[in-house]
Structure 1
Amino acid sequence: MRMFLSAVLYTALAFGANAALAGTVELEALREGSMKKLVFAAEPAPVPDTIFLDEAGTEHRLSDWQGKYLLVNFWATWCAPCRKELPALDALNRDFGGDTFAVLTIATGRNPVPAIRRLFSEVGVQGLPILLDPKQELSRGMGVFGLPVTVVLDRDGREIARLSGDAEWNGESARAIVAALLSGG
């Protein structure tokens, strides 16, 4: 299976596969294991540009990251599957984050900053920003009704994929999907 996945990845990279140019067939072929829950949109869809906060209370919007692919993860400190996937999201951001990609983990609902800091320390998260959606305005606006939910946005800030539940975000399949997205844009 590993050889097959590698062959698909390199074929996708060779042809510059991405959702905008080649459709989602190539990306869907990269889904294995928990990444099979990743559902690609038929067409990129706009998302609300609702305000959310960082730990200092500074306002942000998803459009602040326009020009990058975003993996936006909605989570909460009380959510066991959310806690489980945070280190993988951190590793994915460490390895791919930069000028063209970022992982944003947004704690939705009541999540005190000290509790988030403590959790990040406990599970070894070092590179993810602390972002908050305390009134759940962004999460509701994006149709998040359970946790965790991860939404993939294209460089224009449009939703191109969504995954409900936890996933192996640092696994070979997730990494192949992110690499294919980045190679095509």
Structure 2
Amino acid sequence: MPVLSSLRAPRRAMALAAAGTVAAALAGRKARADGLGKLAESPPRPLPEFGFTDAEGKPHGVGDFAGQGLVLNLWATWCPPCVAEMPALDRAQAALAAEGITVLALSSDRGGRAQVEPFYRDRGIRHLGLWLDPRGAAGRALGVRGLPTTLIIDRQGRERARLEGAAEWDQPAMLAAIRRLVAVEEPQQRT
């Protein structure tokens, strides 16, 4: 990484973010060869603390969605694989909303609402809320390596799966996986 070490810190951070995005895009392209990105399931693990804002600038956290299943998508308007999957995320939100599952698409665009709102309008995104993380706090807290990255969070607020790269979120198999992963775990009965 001699080339990166000679760059100033902000440029180095941008170069690393771009490299991560390219790596995630390549991983997503490979995973989509059979039609779907691949969710990497994991044992339930608690989420770290991080914040983000709504379109009006009001602060929020994942705790604001207690009891809901979440599809937490980290994306940006400048990221081609992110842009490609946004319509499928919008359709997934429409399909899952009545079941108490929210697609929480956190934009890392520095332009905030002024940048994301026209993007939604121009692409016909109607079901997703406008959530902003222009400083990338969520990505840092969650150890995200590139955009897009999506976490499936169960109703107890624990990460259950992660996918790096774009996916076809509105496909029946993906919707079924989301429903299964966010479900409330039944306590095991002793016999």
Q: TM-score, normalised by structure 2?
A: 0.74
* Corresponding residue for residue 161 of structure 1: 161
Check the 8 A contact 1:100/1:182 in 2, yes or no: no
**1:86, CA displacement in angstroms?**
0.7
**Residues 109 and 116 of structure 2 are in contact (CA less than 8 Å); yes or no, is this contact kept in structure 1?**
no
The AA in structure 2 aligned to 1:39 is: A
Shift of 1:47: 0.9
Tell me how far apart the structure 2 counterparts of residues 179 and 160 of structure 1 sit (CA, whole Å). Answer: 11
The residue number in structure 1 matching 2:54 is 54
**SS in structure 2 opposite 1:97?**
helix
Q: Distance in 2 between matches of 1:141 and 1:94?
A: 28
Counterpart of 1:176?
176
The aligned residue for residue 101 of structure 2 is 101
How far apart are 1:81 and its partner, in Å? 0.8
**How many residues are aligned here?**
152
Q: Which runs of 5+ in 1 are unaligned?
A: 1-31
- 1:69 is matched with 69
Larger Cα-atom Rg? 2
CA distance in 1, matches of 2:146, 2:127: 25
Q: Which residue of 1 aligns with 2:112?
A: 112
Asked if structure 2 preserves the Cα contact closer than 8 Å seen for 1:55 and 1:132, the reply is yes
Say whether the 8 Å CA contact 1:168–1:174 is kept in structure 2: yes
Tell whether the 8 Å contact from 1:76 to 1:111 is kept in structure 2 after alignment. Answer: no
Secondary structure at the counterpart of residue 166 of structure 1: coil
- Gap change, CA 1:182 and 1:70, over 3 Å in 2: closer
Distance 1:33 1:118, change over 3 A: same
Residue 82 of structure 2 corresponds to residue 82 of structure 1: yes
SS at match of 2:36: helix
The C-alpha deviation readout for 1:89-129, integer Å capped at 9, x for no partner, is 11111111145211000012514312211111122100111
1:33 to 28, 31, 35: 35
Aligned-CA RMSD value: 1.7
Judged with a 3 Å threshold, the aligned counterparts in structure 2 of structure 1 residues 109 and 182 are, in CA distance, closer, same or farther, namely: closer
Question: Residues 120-161 of structure 1: CA distance to partner in whole angstroms, max 9, x if unpaired?
Answer: 112210011111111111210001120000000011111000
TM-score, length-scaled by structure 1: 0.76
Partner of 1:132: 132
Structure-2 separation of matches of 1:73 and 1:167: 11
CA contact (8 A) 2:107 2:132 kept: yes
Distance 1:141 1:182 in 2: 21
Q: % of aligned pairs identical?
A: 36
Residues 46 and 179 (structure 1 numbering): CA distance in 2 closer, same or farther, change over 3 Å? closer
Once the 2 structures are TM-superposed, how far is the Cα of residue 181 of structure 1 from its aligned partner? 4.1
Unaligned stretches of 5+ residues in structure 2? 1-33, 186-191
d(CA) in 2 for partners of 1:60, 1:98: 22
Q: Distance in 2 between matches of 1:118 and 1:70?
A: 24
